[in-house]
Amino acid sequence: MLKAVKIFLVLLFLTLVLLFSLLFSGIKIDSFSLGNLNVSQFYIKLNKKLIVEIEQIAYKSRKSKENKGSFESLKQSLELFPNIIKYFETIYIERLKLKDNEFTIFLDDKSLYLDSKYLNLSSKLDFQGSRVILDMYSLYLKDIELMLDGKISVDYFEEKLNYYGEYFYHDLQGDIKLDMDKKLARFYINSDDFKSLRFIKKYADLSLVAESWMYDNVKGDIKLDFLYGQIDLEKKRLIERSLYGKAQVKKAKIKFHKDLEPIITKRVDLDFDNGNLIFDLKEPKYANMDINGSTVVIRNLTSQENGVVNVNIKSKKIRLNNDILNILKAYKINLPVNQISGYTRADLLLEIPYKLDKGMRTTGLFEVFDSNIKIGDFDFYTKDARVILDGPIVKLRDADFKYLDLVQSEVNMDLDTRTLKASGIVDIDKLLIESKKEEILKIQKSLSDLELDFNDPIKIDLVDFDSSITIDENINIRIDDLSKLYKNSEVLKAYNISEGNLSIKYVNNDFIDFKGFIKGIDYPVYEDEKQVTSLDIVGQIRKDRVAIQSKDNKVKISTNNKSTDIYLKDFYVDLTKFDDNSSNSENSVLNIKGESLRLKVDEKSIYDLNSLSAKVLSKEDIQFSADVKNLDLPIKKDDKKVTSLSINGNVTKDKVSIETKQRDLFLTTKANEELTLDLNGYDLLYSSKNEGEEKANKFKKIDIKAKNSTLIYNDEFRFLGDTYEVSALDKKVFFHLKHNSTDITYKEDNGKVDIFANDIDDEFINELFGKKIFKGGKVMFVANGDVDSKLSGKVILSNTKIEDLAVINNLLIFIHSSPALINPLLAIPSVVGMASKKGFNLNGYRIVDGVIEFDYDRKKDIINAHKIVTVGNGIDFDGKAIVDLDNSTINSDMKLIFFKDYSSIVSSVPVLNYVLLGENKRVSTKVNIFGDINNPKIKTNLTKDAFSVPLNIGKRILESPAKFLEFLGDGSKEESTKESE
């Protein structure tokens, strides 16, 4: 037994010696596992204390993960450090995975670096009993985005943390003192200048109203003098009631409402205490008005139920204009006044609860002095008045009221701003309506109950007079019972009107309207083919003019000793029956305005007009402006026929001048023989069917100039034009058109025609024929001959592609589907050549060079293209065609020369060129194109040629020895020649 014990002790001693030997030299283990713990790249060495380096430690816990945040993470981490330092000299763990967190740790007895999901810490260390002192380089709390530096004292036994230093939070920085235990953090901070308190939003649960004042309504450079508060660490929320502080906002802009201009202040002092935030405004101005003494107080800032914003606006001298009224309007209080002049002492209080369903309360007193007040379009003067605002009710007291020389009175009334209706009493000192000649209505020293409606238009009811006044841009007076005002009106007395009703429109003493009935009108104006002789009218009294109009507003006539004005609607007017006697004086001018009229100008000319404005100085001098409809003009705009125009014009004895109001069309005729037309943006229509009528046209000379215009021939052919001009005089015609590079000239002189068109591009041609025929390249066209008989000309094509032409398309389809292309001796090289050089294919035919010579018989409407030659990359054409334009048919004989790549290769090989190509050394065939030009038929011997190729080749093979000997003989002759030389 003793022997066994001795052996065990020896073995234990040797094991310990071996272990310590290994520790002093260092132990490295790639990986190992202990339960839920996995370790990789583990290294340990014993110096004075243990040195440990680990690449990764992963601990898998079966418990659900906990999100304890940066404060708890920091506290738990620091509690371990004193115990660890007792035994370890250095610990470096590159990756430590615990639950949902991951750490990087470096620790020795002097410094600490710790990085995790929630924080990053770099600091010196000082261990004092149960406390750890961190002299930090930096501490970044990631989940609240707060950077700190300074000193932290952590008592891990008492679970307390104290911090003194600086903080950096977004654009906010300053000094901070922080005391923190397990549940609560207390902070005391100040700051440098910053822009917004919005950083508090994620920690404070405020109402939308309070948030707008805290974060949005006040702009400027904010500086915290101090701010004290507490944070609930368990709920991660700011304890609002703990907040107490003072701040300043320099060069502040304060908005009462998002739709209003801001208040500009030199400074705002903010004081937050006991849940109330007080804004003390220094030298405030609103819309350049001094509102010194104004304040904003947010009471119960953090209470959703009891929070309220009090805005108190004060001023000793402002105006009740839109600047102030818009404040009320923003809060749905409509005060229907606008102070134009004078001044007002104002004291306005707005109480805005957080819960808007409680209703906002407004109170105020406005004392108005020596002012012009405007209500709607109604402008009056008051010497003094008191306006008391009590919620939605506005009380007007002892208000002196004066309107021009019309009304002088004193008013007391109450106005409900929700309905804009009021009631009260008016003491009329004077109400006078008069013209230059006589009094129309006069009331003095009378009381009346008063009912008012300030909705648009403003309406005033004088109850005791059965009368009402409506105010818009004028004063409109309606008297329902004239007997009550008979004694007050000289006009009623003069015409003995003691009963009935009257409507008066009063602008001023020189502008008064009233309703009535007249008959005996003698003007050449007709309705339903009957001359208008009587009307229900509205009369007008002017300084020097009398005017009448029908109640349906279809007729208005006004006259004085200088002019007669007539307005007509839905009438037929015969201008030929107006003469100098139609007006009051031989020097009178006739002005005619109208809508939806038929106007007879002379025995042949009748026009339908949407509107008309004409000044008839005499029959031979008429100036007019009109919207003409139902026109039949040879012009289009935006591809629509122009049937109406807005024009200005002038008619004299031998000249008519017309221009559109947009000044894009000008038309002048002289003595019914000359016509000048300028167009910009209009398309001009020309029809050959009307040529006979045009020759009988009364105009001997025509000049047309156009910009950005298309000339449309027979509604089919469209000639694009940046500019073009047409001149016609007697039997001479000149036409010149330019579009991009296209330049066309047409000259006609005594029946002889010359046409020259150069550099015609594909856009011009494709638009001309209404389809995409050409792509790229240029075309030149020349022709000359007789207008009425024959034209001869030439078309030259250069480097262009024909894409959408039925004749070519049908021919190409026919060729591609022909058995000739199946011949392996011919088809393969030719098809390769056409594809590689982009010659002809089913998408079109490219022409390198081409010429068409033709004659055009105008009487028969036939084009004889007696020469058609084209050179392409895959196929050449050589032939002729006759096109009958009248019947839209074509008859063409054409020789096709194709498979040129194959021919060129074979032709360079002696004897073989004869065997495969024959004497002409090319492959060609003939086609006949005939029928409808839009879908022509093709007839050809291409199939026959294809099937005969093998026989011809066989025949030429039998003949080839002779050709070969001939070739050799030619070669011998050439060598003999060289030797003799």
DSSP string of 419-434?
Answer: TTEEEEEEEEEEEEEE
User: Do 855 and 866 contact (CB within 8 A), yes or no?
Assistant: yes
User: Do 524 and 549 contact (CB within 8 A), yes or no?
Assistant: no
Beta bridge partners of 727: 703, 734
Identify each DSSP E strand in 171-262 by its residue range: 172-180, 184-189, 218-232, 237-254
| Tens-place pLDDT, residues 689-706 | 665 554 445 678 899 999
Q: H or E stretch including 40?
A: strand 37-46
Q: Enter the tokens of residue 878.
A: 């050589």
User: Do 125 and 90 contact (CB within 8 A), yes or no?
Assistant: no
Sites in the chain below the pLDDT cut of 50: 64-66, 494-496, 580-586, 694-696, 820-840, 901-917, 943-944, 946-969, 971-981
Helix boundaries (H) for 577-728: 691-695
Write down the residue that tokens 């004081």 correspond to: 271
End-to-end CA distance of the chain: 134
Model pLDDT, residue 781: 92
Return d(Cα 385, Cα 347) in angstroms, integer: 15
Return d(Cα 144, Cα 121) in angstroms, integer: 15
SS3 759: strand
The Cβ of residue 87 has, within 10 Å, a number of other Cβ atoms equal to 10
Pairing of strands 606-618, 621-629: antiparallel
Return d(Cα 154, Cα 151) in angstroms, integer: 10
Q: How far is CA 308 from CA 214, 722, 761, in A?
A: 13, 70, 77
User: Do 207 and 307 contact (CB within 8 A), yes or no?
Assistant: yes
User: Do 27 and 18 contact (CB within 8 A), yes or no?
Assistant: no
Instruction: Give this prediction's pTM.
Output: 0.44
Pairing of strands 572-574, 525-527: antiparallel
| Tens-place pLDDT, residues 154-178 | 887 777 888 899 988 877 889 999 8
> Considering only CA atoms, which of 278, 306, 280 is closest in space to residue 292?
280
Return d(Cα 632, Cα 643) in angstroms, integer: 6
> Considering only CA atoms, which of 286, 284, 288, 290 is closest in space to residue 266?
284
Return d(Cα 318, Cα 926) in angstroms, integer: 101
Model pLDDT, residue 109: 73
| Tens-place pLDDT, residues 232-250 | 888 878 787 788 899 999 9
Model pLDDT, residue 542: 75
Return d(Cα 965, Cα 977) in angstroms, integer: 18
User: Do 800 and 775 contact (CB within 8 A), yes or no?
Assistant: yes
Return d(Cα 93, Cα 39) in angstroms, integer: 11
Q: For residue 374, how far is the Cα from the chain centroid?
A: 37
Which residues are CB-contacts of 686 (< 8 A; sequence separation ≥ 6)? 634, 711, 712, 713, 714
Q: H or E stretch including 491?
A: helix 490-494
Return d(Cα 245, Cα 441) in angstroms, integer: 70
Q: How far is CA 782 from CA 160, 426, 634, 744, 795, in A?
A: 105, 93, 28, 10, 7
Pairing of strands 546-550, 845-857: unpaired
Helix boundaries (H) for 88-198: none
Q: H or E stretch including 394?
A: strand 393-403
Write down the residue that tokens 């089913």 correspond to: 842
Model pLDDT, residue 520: 54
Write down the residue that tokens 């380096």 correspond to: 53
> Considering only CA atoms, which of 450, 457, 484 is closest in space to residue 473?
457
Return d(Cα 38, Cα 34) in angstroms, integer: 7
Q: Enter the tokens of residue 683.
A: 């398309």
The Cβ of residue 434 has, within 10 Å, a number of other Cβ atoms equal to 16
| Tens-place pLDDT, residues 941-973 | 654 454 444 444 444 444 444 444 444 445 444
User: Do 275 and 302 contact (CB within 8 A), yes or no?
Assistant: yes
Q: Enter the tokens of residue 921.
A: 């050394």
| Tens-place pLDDT, residues 770-786 | 888 888 888 999 999 99
